[in-house]
Amino acid sequence: MTLIPTFPPLLTGLAAGPANPFSIAIDQARRGVDSGLLTWSIGPERLRAALVLAPEIALEPALAAFCAVAVGFQNALGVLAPPETAVYLEWSGGIRINGGHCGGFHMAASTRNPAAIPDWLVVGLDLTLSHAAEWEPGETPDWTALDQEGCGDVVPIELLEAWSRHSLIWLNELDEPGGRARLHREWSGLAWKQGETVSLPIGRPRAEGVFLGVDENFGMILKATDGDTRLIALSSILEEA
């Protein structure tokens, strides 16, 4: 029997089966579905989900929601995983568990204009639960899976439910006075390689430099290798819908 996750009242679940929940969420958003649709798919090796949002502010500040649901994931896994499990968030969406890449977040919107109010915003989660039997750890030493990091007892459907609850808490926080500042502090404490040299999958050549922090819209402040300090907007990592 397939278990059905229970989500908070403001969210509506839609099982994607073997299909891509991110693609389904985008399709539903284009059709005018209400904000709060959460599409999901759980298999032996991956947990995938996507959340449809309908921001009422311009795209660039609205993308704080991307960071809100990422912090929600960290909070959710932090409750369910062994206490020694270290969960960090890459600025570009990656999830790091005990230092290893274990999946990540991605997003798409109805517009790429930072100043326009988007009709919809979709944030997707793709988490590696386990690797295929033929996987050789030495071939991809930077990649890991939940069960490889002592989290094999975490029940995926419970993690999905917890993520939905914690994400909703942080999304609601964005509407409260001082909420963005609280999210900023929480996210900054989880940021992978802040204060260190990073290489971003943006542009050609790739953007490289020291990750100094983020601005009020979670854009990366990067001290480039040529010595210049630049701001990389979070909207630069939006995927084509």
Q: Would you state the pLDDT for residue 135?
A: 62
**Cα–Cα distance, 196 to 194 (Å, whole number):** 5
In the prediction, which pLDDT does 58 show? Answer: 98
Looking at residue 85, the DSSP 8-state letter turns out to be: -
Nearest Cα residue to 169 out of 31, 238, 73: 73
Mean pLDDT throughout 120-126? 98
When pLDDT is cut at 50, 70 and 90, the band that residue 226 belongs to is confident
- Distance CA(190)–CA(35), nearest Å, equals 27
Q: Provide the CATH number for the domain formed by 12-188 in this structure.
A: 3.30.930.10
Confidence of residue 134 (pLDDT cuts 50, 70, 90): low
Domain ranges of the chain: 12-188, 197-237
| Euclidean distance between CA atoms 120 and 197, whole angstroms | 34
Interatomic CA distance for residues 90 and 57, integer angstroms: 25
As a whole number of Å, the end-to-end CA separation of the chain is 34
| pLDDT given for residue 186 in this prediction | 98
Residue with tokens 């999210």: 183
pLDDT of 54 reads: 97
Residue type, 124: G
Q: What is the pLDDT of residue 227?
A: 86
| 131 — pLDDT class (breaks 50, 70, 90) | confident
What's the CA gap between 48 and 40, in Å, rounded?
6
Edge-to-edge strands of the sheet including 94-97?
12-15, 37-42, 46-53, 121-128, 100-109, 94-97, 87-89
Residue 15 has pLDDT above 70, yes or no: yes
Quick: pLDDT tens for 192-208: 999 999 999 887 778 89
